[in-house]
């Protein structure tokens, strides 16, 4: 753990080392320290106070990152908001989050927020008053710092409250196994509004390495990058577009969904260390990790974390556990038993490692047989022309529920090819009664797509009526 704000610590040790790389400019640790200090002063001059909540809305950019760090360093709390969230969901969600200010970096102004706005873009013109100082790092270490929304894949997202202590512990445990050093560069390939994107940021801050922003297509952003965090869909697309663009990478950290062994084997054959991970927002990102092999498990818990299996449910005890969920001005405790967080993930300990089979709340029964959607999805995703898939339960008078498959396929791939290929690979009760394509509008967020909204869309088609 560091004893001061990371940008102050590293600016004292390596002031002229590059901290951030963008397409147009590089930033040293010294320049980063000055910018964060000035932004903090500028926002404070507009009335931002300790413990107030600032919502930052927009796609990844250096301005959002600088704002986040400045807001935290003056004792305020930052909520990172996915700019693609629908008006319907925002109307239902934001009323409970007690937001004081907003800085909207999104060019789409179709949604009007009724919050006081903070001006950001003229901070360079502001002259800092003599009495302005960032609050002490030690004073804020265990105070609420970030609100990160869960995926909301089965309902309304929850705003998970983390402090700096949890983020730093998470970073420390990952860097205990992944070799990311001073001159290495980690691409910010995942959104800051997602816990996996935050994981990249806090590892960078702890180690004092480099971070790079993805300003073009992912395949055009890997020059000079040594480390990258991806979901399997991203890696699949990169490998099939031009695998040579991956060759300069040292390590790849995978997470976010079931990870096909066929894909990771191909990456390993390129000489790249590929890590498979399991984590969640409530635990500040990664919980388990291992170098990928021919087994489907996710390895063992990282330093500072413990796992147990109770009634097929994974339960976790960790030094990265969230403070709770922010709701109507209060922190609602996590669902824990004697400090063990009930994940609602179905898992088991098999052959010396933990396995994750999917969400218990995704599990459904068909004619007395239980179906875990993620199991069928994993098989479908192993086909070379499948990018991702979703199995959703549809009510059936005879069997209770039957599975339906919604697929994202490579260009020019016929659904009938997948239908025939899958026939002998699953049990009859697991075979979907209908296959259809994933609509483009569901692909706006690369991390997790809401099963709830896919099911709602499918039911609106009235296919079985």
In whole angstroms, give the CA distance from residue 259 to residue 236.
Answer: 10
Whether the pLDDT of residue 459 is over 70: the answer is: yes
Across the range 417-437, mean pLDDT stands at 95
Both tokens assigned to 62: 């250096």
Tens of pLDDT, residue by residue over 136-194, are: 999 999 999 999 999 766 668 899 999 999 999 999 999 999 999 999 999 999 999 99
> Using an 8 Å Cβ cutoff, are 406 and 436 in contact?
yes
Who's near 352: CB < 8 A, 6+ residues apart? none
Residue 266: per-residue pLDDT: 87
Residue 153: per-residue pLDDT: 60
In whole angstroms, give the CA distance from residue 277 to residue 289.
Answer: 4
The 3 state secondary structure assigned to 354-421 is EEEEEECCCCEEECCEEECHHHHHHHHHCCCCEEEEEEEEEEECCCEEEEEEEEEECCCCCHHHHHHH
Tens of pLDDT, residue by residue over 65-101, are: 999 999 999 999 999 999 888 787 888 899 999 999 9
Tens of pLDDT, residue by residue over 195-235, are: 999 999 999 999 999 999 987 888 888 989 999 999 887 88
Tens of pLDDT, residue by residue over 163-175, are: 999 999 999 999 9
The larger pLDDT score, comparing residue 32 to residue 112, is at 32
Q: Domain 364-460 carries which CATH code? A: 3.30.300.30
Average pLDDT, the chain: 91
Residue 320: per-residue pLDDT: 98
| Of 31-35, 88-92, 423-427, minimum mean pLDDT range | 88-92
- 420 vs 383, 416, 432, CA distance in Å? 12, 6, 11
Who's near 86: CB < 8 A, 6+ residues apart? none
Residue 446: per-residue pLDDT: 47
Residue 461: per-residue pLDDT: 80
Residue 265: per-residue pLDDT: 85
- 382 vs 256, 286, 299, CA distance in Å? 16, 24, 21
Q: Domain limits of the chain? A: 1-357, 364-460
C-alpha dihedral, 242 to 247 to 248 to 253, nearest 10°? 90
DSSP 162: E
Tens of pLDDT, residue by residue over 441-454, are: 665 554 567 788 78
Model confidence at 107, in pLDDT bands (50, 70, 90)? low
Residue 108: per-residue pLDDT: 66
Q: Tell me, rounded to whole angstroms, the distance of Cα 229 from its chain centroid.
A: 10
Across the range 32-37, mean pLDDT stands at 97
> Using an 8 Å Cβ cutoff, are 296 and 327 in contact?
no
CA geometry: angle at 356 spanning 359 and 420, to 5°? 80
Residue 129: per-residue pLDDT: 82
CATH superfamily of 1-357: ANL, N-terminal domain (3.40.50.12780)
Residue 78: per-residue pLDDT: 98
- 34 vs 15, 39, 80, 134, 287, CA distance in Å? 11, 9, 23, 11, 34
Q: Which residues of 236-247 are buried (b: 16+ CB within 10 A; e: fewer)?
A: bebeeeeeebbe
Torsion angles phi and psi, residue 432, rounded to 5? -60, 145
Closest alpha carbon to 292 in 345, 202, 353, 226: 353
Tens of pLDDT, residue by residue over 274-330, are: 999 999 999 999 999 999 888 889 999 999 999 999 999 999 999 999 999 999 999
Residue 152: per-residue pLDDT: 65
Across the range 326-345, mean pLDDT stands at 96
Residue 154: per-residue pLDDT: 60
> Using an 8 Å Cβ cutoff, are 286 and 279 in contact?
yes
In whole angstroms, give the CA distance from residue 265 to residue 356.
Answer: 19
């Amino acid at each position: 753990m560091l004893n001061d704000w990371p940008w102050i610590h590293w600016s004292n040790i390596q002031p002229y080392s590059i901290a951030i790389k963008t397409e147009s400019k590089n930033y040293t640790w010294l320049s980063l320290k000055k910018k964060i200090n000035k932004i903090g002063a500028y926002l404070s001059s507009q009335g931002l106070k300790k413990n107030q909540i600032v919502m930052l809305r927009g796609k990844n950019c250096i301005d959002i990152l600088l704002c986040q760090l400045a807001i935290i360093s003056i004792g305020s709390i930052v909520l990172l908001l996915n700019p693609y969230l629908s008006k319907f969901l925002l109307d239902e969600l934001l009323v409970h989050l007690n937001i004081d200010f907003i800085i909207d970096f999104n060019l789409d102004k179709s949604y009007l927020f009724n919050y006081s706005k903070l001006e950001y873009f003229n901070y360079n013109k502001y002259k800092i008053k003599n009495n302005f100082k960032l609050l002490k790092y030690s004073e804020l270490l265990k105070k609420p710092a970030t609100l990160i929304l869960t995926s909301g894949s089965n309902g309304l997202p929850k705003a998970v409250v983390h402090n700096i202590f949890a983020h730093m512990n998470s970073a420390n445990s990952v860097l205990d196994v992944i070799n990311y050093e001073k001159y290495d560069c980690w691409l910010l390939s995942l959104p800051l509004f997602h816990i996996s994107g935050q994981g990249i940021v806090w590892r960078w801050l702890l180690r004092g390495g480099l971070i790079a922003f993805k300003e073009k297509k992912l395949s055009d952003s890997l020059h000079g990058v040594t480390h990258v965090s991806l979901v399997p869909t991203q890696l699949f697309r990169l490998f099939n577009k031009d695998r040579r663009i991956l060759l300069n990478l040292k390590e790849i950290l995978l997470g976010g969904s079931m990870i096909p062994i066929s894909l990771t084997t191909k990456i390993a054959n390129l000489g790249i260390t590929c890590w498979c991970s399991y984590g969640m927002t409530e635990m500040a990102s990664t919980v388990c990790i291992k170098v990928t092999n021919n087994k489907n498990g996710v390895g063992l818990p990282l330093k500072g974390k413990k796992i147990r299996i109770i009634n097929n449910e994974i339960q976790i005890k960790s030094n990265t556990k969230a403070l709770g969920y922010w709701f109507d001005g209060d922190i609602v405790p996590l669902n824990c038993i004697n400090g063990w967080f009930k994940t609602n993930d179905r898992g088991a300990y098999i052959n010396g490692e933990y396995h994750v089979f999917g969400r218990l709340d995704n599990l459904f029964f068909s004619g007395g047989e239980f179906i875990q959607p993620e199991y069928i999805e994993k098989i479908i995703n192993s086909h070379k022309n499948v990018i991702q898939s979703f199995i959703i339960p549809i009510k059936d008078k005879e069997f209770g529920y039957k599975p339906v498959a919604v697929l994202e396929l490579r260009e020019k791939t016929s659904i009938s090819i997948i239908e025939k290929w899958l026939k002998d690979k699953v049990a009859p009760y697991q075979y979907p009664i209908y296959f259809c394509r994933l609509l483009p509008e569901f692909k706006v967020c690369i991390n997790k797509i809401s099963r709830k909204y896919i099911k709602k869309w499918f039911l609106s088609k009235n296919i079985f009526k």
